[in-house]
Chain A
Amino acid sequence: MEAKPKPNKFVVPIGPQHPALKEPGHFEFTVDGEVVTGASVRLGYVHRGIEKGTESRNWVQNLYLLERICGICSHVHAMAYSLGVEKLAKVTIPPRAQAIRTLAAELERIHSHLLWLGVAAHEGGFDTLFMYSWRDREVVMDLLEMITGNRVNYSVNLLGGVKYDITQEQVDALRKGMDFLEQRSHHYLKVVTTDETFLGRTRNVGLMSFDQAELLGALGPTARASGVQRDVRVDAPYAAYDLYPVKLITDPRGDLEARFVVRINELFESYRLVREISANLPAGELSVRVPRRIPEGEVISRVEAPRGELFYFLRSTGLDTPDRIKVRTPSMGNWASVMTLTIGQNLADVPMILSGIDPCFSCNDRMVRLLRPGVTQTWSWEELRRFGIEHYK
């Protein structure tokens, strides 16, 4: 039995849950009053069986399959895979190609962080910020389309290099775009650090200490916002990051506000990198030939996706199809840390905390099961989100 939401007032459906309605929940929270006492996550709505699928596709086909694991970070997946295959094949990639890969990766980071800023703001009820950040994000989408021909799933990588070159005209457009975005990002930083309503929902919320972040294996900006110095671009530079070093951005506070600040500061760093790379592209070829059958071996390829460390394990037995490919996405590492974080927090803070790790935003329709003593309720994500907004009014 569901109650219709009344205007300006949200009514929580109360009553014993119908036992036959085993709605598969993405999340399950045990709640005592308004405080979360237990949390667990169940993924699987987006499980397509890709790792198994890679075993029956050849190395080239897998490039296109693995790109589509995630639409938001498709380039880093393809890049991690290509770097791994090139390691197995013992092929050296021309520096221009590595630089273009790095350029695309930074543009992707910009688009991903702006996307997240909008989505996280939306979770907290700040729809104006959502609209502004996505409008600004269109600048990056246009730049990506200009360089690669598509807004999403840019397919820059080839096994052995890249497909597209950057012209001087494009370099000028990139610079203009970065200037505009940088100015806008200063505005976002100001909003995020000074707006009272925003701070009410982010300051001292979802605290994760340095030790917790280390132990729980948090990755990416989520870890860096707790002071953990962990960034694959700095720790283990790949592609062209040794030529264009990255500054590690951290924040010691460990709360939600810190996670916002870290990502916006990373935006500034990415703008700087895009300008630097595009102005200093090394001359040379765009790709080299990679054999059809990849030599035997096992490699690990780690790259820094916008959400954190992306881990690829590739095993070849000398055929034209891989033996085993394992993909461990950064969200996998971050879910565990965040689910632990929600314990002891208010239910109303949960939507913002979960968005704070920049999870693969997807189903607006994630279902949430709430286990209260004696009663199980099932809420939609939308209901949980509105509960959070109402609580803070």
Chain B
Amino acid sequence: MDALLAVPAGRVSRVRCQALEARSEFLRLLRAPSFAVPTLLFPPMFYLLFAIVLSHGHGGFQPGVYLLATYGVFGVMSPGLFGFGITVATDRENGWLTFKRALPMPPGAYLASKLMMAMLFATLIFTLLAVLATTLGGVRLPARAWLLLLATDIAGVLPFCAIGLFIGSALRAQSAMAVGNLIYLPMSFLSGLWIPLEGLPPVLRTIAPVWPAWHLGRIALADVGQAPGEAVWPHVAALLAVTLLFLALARRRLVRG
């Protein structure tokens, strides 16, 4: 009986297991044109159009810098809302999640791999926008601003991953897609990611603090000096609260099965 209970020889590398898991999640979405094309193409395309081709700055407002920050935020919302939301819903629906739970995978590796996938997409989107901004857009920023913006974009996937996880835990894949779009596009607009809220009806500015994308947008704008005199920590606190709230809601649904 002792021999039976002994752990077999050889060790499992958690890092390797996690890395391969994340790679699969990334490849899976990269090979899904309905996800990869809009996610990787829309932010640079909009940036090219509105920040470079049709740009007209005035006063302190520099479209090339402003939109670099806000299209980055627009971009990093997608892997969270869709990458997380739809794949979790799909995995639940067709049995992949059950198989993963049966495998001896370290607890948390399933969600961590999806989070890493979202962060990888965020880095790609940041890089695409940064290349466009520095070449065609002629944007020049201090190194510190670039690093802060990259960090904001990467960490910024968290609240949207939490929202996506909740959607994926509550809905079927088809509905998750629809709800994702219903949140994604209106929230981007209402958070001033496409057009600064200053140019829109004042009521939109009043309700803006409701949207997590607005808070992330303000942090990104502060990173690149487009939100002078604004404290960043209330936005960080708001995003943390959103993340924890949706994680808790998703956990409740997933535990119930």
A, B in one complex: no
